[in-house]
């Protein structure tokens, strides 16, 4: 018994060592990335075409390609960390990921806890519902059940504009939100354009259409608060990839249109 315990004890010690070393992150994750030649990047796997699991079970999509591009520019191998809308910020805060490239929109609440690089791809969130439903203003959401992914930008925007009588049902990830709408558990869905597009293409019987714009929100890369060195380096990479047309090429490949104007 005691023989078996010893490796465990050593493991605990090693774990403590890792914790002890963690203040090094306070300098810059960039140094660690360059030294280890490896970078952990959080990507979505439930968010086509930004990040999803293909038939070969490997993650792919615009965010995944972007993660590979940045890793390549840093001369590092990429370790893809699958995250959901609800937990991606926690991954960054706990240093389980160096970067979050996961259709992350910028808002003041998030800016309090993490930093953002320049935008790397376009995006918008909206409310979708069956064609037969009259829904021209947020006030008409009263008395309707609306599915939304908890913690996503559309959740916050919807919460702001929804009247008191709206029944907002929050789900853990986009798959559950879409399932709830497709199975009729909610009458209306608030989600990103790409999720809605994918859902409508696969379920033409729903007759869903665009109803209300919630927010035009380009995607940014999330970075640990205060890590300016890594942020400037990633900004540099984004700027050069935009000039060289690589980002436009990715957007055409996955979204069917060039990136357009992106804020810095």
Partner 1 sequence: MVQLDFAAVLADWPLLLRGAALTLALTAVAAVLGVGAGIACARARTHGPPAVRALAAGYVELVRNTPFIVQLFFIYFGLPSLGLRLSSETASIIAMTLNLGAYAAEIVRAGIDATPPGQLEAARSLAMTERQVFLRVVLPPSLGRVWPAMVSQVVIVMLGSAVCGQIAAQELSYSASLIMSRNFRSFEANFVAAGLYLAMAVLLRQALAWAGPRWLFGRIAPTGR
Nearer to partner 1 (CB atom), residue 145 or residue 235: 145
Where does residue 11 rank: exposed (0-12), middle (13-18), buried (19+ CB within 10 A)?
Answer: exposed
Nearer to partner 1 among residue 20 and residue 256 (C-beta) = 20
Among residues 59, 42, 40, 61, which one has the least CA distance to residue 50? 61
Quote the CA–CA distance of 13 and 26 in Å, as a whole number: 22
Residues that bind partner 1 (CB under 8 A): 86-87, 89-90, 93, 109-110, 112-113, 147, 150-151, 155, 169-172, 176, 179-180, 183-185
Give the nearest distance from C-beta 155 to partner 1 in angstroms: 7
Which is nearer to partner 1, 172 or 248 (by Cβ)? 172
By residue count, the chain amounts to 264
For residues 52 and 171, which CB has a smaller minimum distance to partner 1 in the complex?
A: 171
CB of 235 to partner 1, least distance (A): 23
Nearest-approach distance from CB 19 to partner 1, in angstroms: 11
Burial of 48 (0-12, 13-18, 19+ CB in 10 A): buried
State in angstroms the smallest separation of the CB of 172 from partner 1. 5
The smaller minimum CB distance to partner 1, of residues 65 and 155, is found at 155
Half-sphere exposure of 96 (CA within 13 A, CB side): 12
Which string of b and e fits 200-216 if b means at least 16 CB within 10 Å?
A: eeeeeebebeebbebbe
| Residue 5: its H or E element | helix 2-21
In angstroms, what is the minimal distance from the CB of 242 to partner 1?
29
44, 191 contact by CB (below 8 A): no
Tokens of 159: 């919460």
CB of 142 to partner 1, least distance (A): 19
Closest CB to partner 1 among residues 29, 176: 176
């Amino acid at each position: 018994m005691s023989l078996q315990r010893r490796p465990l004890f050593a493991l605990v010690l090693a774990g403590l060592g890792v914790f002890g070393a963690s203040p090094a992150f306070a300098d810059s994750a960039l140094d660690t990335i360059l030294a280890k030649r490896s970078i952990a990047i959080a990507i979505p796997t439930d968010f086509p075409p930004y990040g999803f699991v293909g038939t070969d079970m490997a993650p792919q999509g615009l965010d995944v390609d972007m993660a590979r591009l940045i890793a390549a520019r840093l001369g590092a191998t990429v370790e893809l960390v699958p995250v959901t809308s609800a937990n991606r910020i926690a991954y960054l805060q706990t240093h389980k990921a160096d970067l979050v490239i996961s259709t992350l929109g910028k808002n003041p609440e998030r800016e309090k806890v993490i930093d953002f690089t320049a935008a790397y791809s376009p995006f918008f969130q909206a409310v979708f519902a069956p064609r037969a439903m009259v829904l021209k203003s947020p006030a008409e959401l009263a008395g309707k059940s609306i599915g939304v992914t908890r913690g996503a930008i559309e959740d916050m925007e919807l919460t702001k504009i929804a009247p008191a009588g709206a029944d907002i049902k929050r789900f853990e990830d986009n798959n559950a939100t879409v399932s709830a709408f497709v199975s009729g558990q909610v009458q209306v869905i608030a989600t990103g354009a790409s999720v809605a597009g994918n859902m409508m293409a696969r379920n033409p019987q729903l007759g869903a259409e665009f109803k209300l714009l919630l927010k035009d929100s380009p995607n940014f890369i999330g970075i640990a608060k205060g890590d300016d060195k890594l942020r400037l380096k990633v900004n540099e990479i984004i700027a050069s990839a935009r000039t060289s047309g690589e980002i436009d090429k990715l957007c055409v490949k996955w979204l069917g249109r060039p990136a357009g104007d992106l804020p810095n």
